[in-house]
Structure 1
Amino acid sequence: MNRPRQISLRAMQGFAEIMRSGSGTAAGRALGLSQPAISRIVGQLEQDIGFELFYRDKGRLVPTKEGLLLADEVELALASVARVHALIDDIANHATGELRIIAPPSFAEGVMPGIISAFAARVPGVRIAVDSRSIATTRTMIATRVADCAFMRMPAGHEDLRARVVVTSQSICALPVDHPLAQHEVITPLLLKHMPMIALGAGNAYGRQIDDIFRDHGVQQHVVVECHTTSAACALAAQGMGIAIVNELLAKAYLGPRLIARPFAPALTHDYALVTSARTRPSSLMDIFEETVIDYFQTSPDPGPR
């Protein structure tokens, strides 16, 4: 069997961009190439590696099983290359350095701005990159030091990771201010019987915890919408689509005149940890960031329900 030829950086970029956008045309636009040029790059890549990455379906590119298997590793490789380029720029420009952080989308939107602002005030000139990835990819990126740190809901579950719990919060019900259940101090599964619900994280660990609680109380949820970010769940709840059971820490940024929160019982606790690689000692920049995170959560007002 012939050994596959080396994969060029351009080929990996073209493949990754198609996987992100789902379109050869969009991938070409992102890379400043024509659609035919992208097609040639991917075609040559498939020829070099000896298997197909996409099915061709009426002009659409649908990833094969092999393509899906390769996608995460290509993303990790490109992230490593990007980190090298950033380091070269820092050295050339005498910059302070770069910190690459991974956080779940809702955490990045609702919590990270305050932390980043506090950190930037302590270390002016530092370059900060915030990314959101799947749990599996996040673990790999931290363990291999492609990224410096991540915020993850415990348990982190990886022997190559060092995790320090930095904040704990409870689940609350987000509902419109004029909702009939707004008069209750605490909302239980029995009160939510027959109520329209917005399901958050259906199929993941949090969604399964919610399902188990309702099942234990003999209540069938009446789900009208499913979504995967706290911001989306709160926006839908504010529009009167239903009640969302969400993490109070992540939801506090979206509460206001139209949307209020009530504690959900039984209590459902969320422990978030700052996770770094256990293979090496964190950099001095990472030490400052960890101190900033601890200070931020110790001094921030309690995000209790409003």
Structure 2
Amino acid sequence: MRFKLRQMEVFRAVMLTGSMNGAAKLLFVSQPAISRLIAHTELSLGLQLFERDKGKLTPTPEAHRLFQEVGPLFEEALRIDELARDLAERPEGALTLCSSPSLALNFVPPVIAQYLELYPNVRLKYHTTLLADMAHELLGRKAELAISVLPIDHPNLVVEPLATGEMVCILPQGHPLASQPAVGLAELAQHRLILYSRNIPFGQLVAAAFQRANVSWTSAVDIVRAELACALVRVGAGVAIVDQFSVGEQGWPGVVTRPLRESIPLSLSLVRSRFERPSRQVQRFMRLIKEHARTGPALAGRPRAAQCILP
């Protein structure tokens, strides 16, 4: 192997910090040691990785190409290192979860709190990910279990339906439409609209609903996260359509939530890799979140709108 792991580590450190001195500080070694190893690496590979001019380093095109490949390798190495530490320090193991961003605001946190109360010795890692990246996260072992707010179809994933929900409209407190029990798309279209961008799945769902209802609409503000819409609605910037899971049971101060007359349904799923048998930790979490979907509190907008669809 001409490009050894230690050489990759030093090369990556130089690329990240932009200098030999920065790499030395990052790796807790001397600057001359870094310089010698980079020079040896260039010699053994037969490649010039950096152009040197008055003490400044400029990566060559070859260095940039190598860096693209080295990055994912070290992410995997760090994952393995974390796994080894977890095995040594936590006999109960670890659990790595990801979810759609909207579920991270209200739906998933109570389940995590319950899980940690029941299994305090398990190390839990949780992050959000977009629908387009979910398969990569699971098949790349960056997460063991995902909770998706939209359908996902992949031959190498196991998808279990969890619950259903819907889009809702949010209005500033005191808005004329807030006095109604439900609001139609045609009524919303008469006001300044804050909507999900049509570049993301939520935005495509909302656009399709307007088209089905034969309602013309124009978005005044495009957003990609529901909390941005809530913040804008609260200060009177407009009215919005968001997923009910982002609003949650309590809603936002100064914001009124109402169901839409034209339903825009959502389908929550539990997703995992077909190639990995679910660990004990994953099975425990799945049981808890299924129970939460069955018996959890009603969400804002319509009582019990998020209905469990599991037997």
Q: How high is the TM-score relative to the length of structure 2?
A: 0.75
Tell me which residue corresponds to 1:172. 168
The amino acid across from 2:268 in the alignment is Y
Instruction: Note the 1:118-133 alignment, pairs <5 A.
Output: 118-133=114-129
CA contact (8 A) 1:176 1:239 kept: yes
SS at match of 2:187: coil
The amino acid across from 1:135 in the alignment is L
SS at match of 2:88: helix
The amino acid across from 1:213 in the alignment is A
Instruction: Note the 1:101-250 alignment, pairs <5 A.
Output: 101-250=97-246
Q: CA RMSD in A?
A: 3.7
Return the offset for 1:88.
Answer: 1.7
Unaligned runs of 5+ in 1: 19-23, 53-60
Aligned counterparts of 2:215 and 2:145: Cα–Cα separation in 1:
39
SS at match of 2:261: coil
CA contact (8 A) 2:195 2:242 kept: no
Among 245, 260, 269, the alignment partner of 1:273 is 269
CA contact (8 A) 2:168 2:301 kept: yes
Q: For 1:131-180, what per-residue CA distance to the aligned partner results, in whole angstroms no more than 9, with x for missing partners?
A: 22343432022123331111123421111111112221111001112111
Instruction: Assess, with a 3 A threshold, how the Cα gap between structure 1 residues 99 and 226 changes in structure 2: closer, same or farther.
Output: same
Instruction: Assess, with a 3 A threshold, how the Cα gap between structure 1 residues 50 and 229 changes in structure 2: closer, same or farther.
Output: farther
CA contact (8 A) 2:250 2:300 kept: no
Q: For 1:218-274, what per-residue CA distance to the aligned partner results, in whole angstroms no more than 9, with x for missing partners?
A: 433232222211111111111111111111122116614411111113111111111
Aligned counterparts of 2:270 and 2:11: Cα–Cα separation in 1:
34
Return the offset for 1:50.
Answer: 7.5
Among 273, 278, 282, the alignment partner of 1:286 is 282
SS at match of 1:190: helix
Instruction: Assess, with a 3 A threshold, how the Cα gap between structure 1 residues 216 and 6 changes in structure 2: closer, same or farther.
Output: farther
CA contact (8 A) 2:196 2:224 kept: yes
Instruction: Note the 1:54-133 alignment, pairs <5 A.
Output: 76-133=72-129
The amino acid across from 1:266 in the alignment is E
Aligned counterparts of 1:49 and 1:225: Cα–Cα separation in 2:
53
Aligned counterparts of 1:12 and 1:93: Cα–Cα separation in 2:
29
Unaligned runs of 5+ in 2: 50-57, 303-311
Q: For 1:52-111, what per-residue CA distance to the aligned partner results, in whole angstroms no more than 9, with x for missing partners?
A: 9xxxxxxxx9xx9x979986x766544432321222212322442111111122222332
Aligned counterparts of 2:82 and 2:204: Cα–Cα separation in 1:
40
Return the offset for 1:11.
Answer: 4.3
SS at match of 1:219: coil
CA contact (8 A) 1:86 1:98 kept: no
Tell me which residue corresponds to 2:308. none
CA contact (8 A) 1:108 1:130 kept: no
CA contact (8 A) 2:249 2:298 kept: no
SS at match of 1:116: helix
The sequence identity of aligned pairs, in percent, is: 23
Aligned counterparts of 1:68 and 1:180: Cα–Cα separation in 2:
57
Tell me which residue corresponds to 2:305. none
Return the offset for 1:51.
Answer: 11
Return the offset for 1:186.
Answer: 1.5
Q: How high is the TM-score relative to the length of structure 1?
A: 0.76
Aligned counterparts of 1:262 and 1:196: Cα–Cα separation in 2:
17
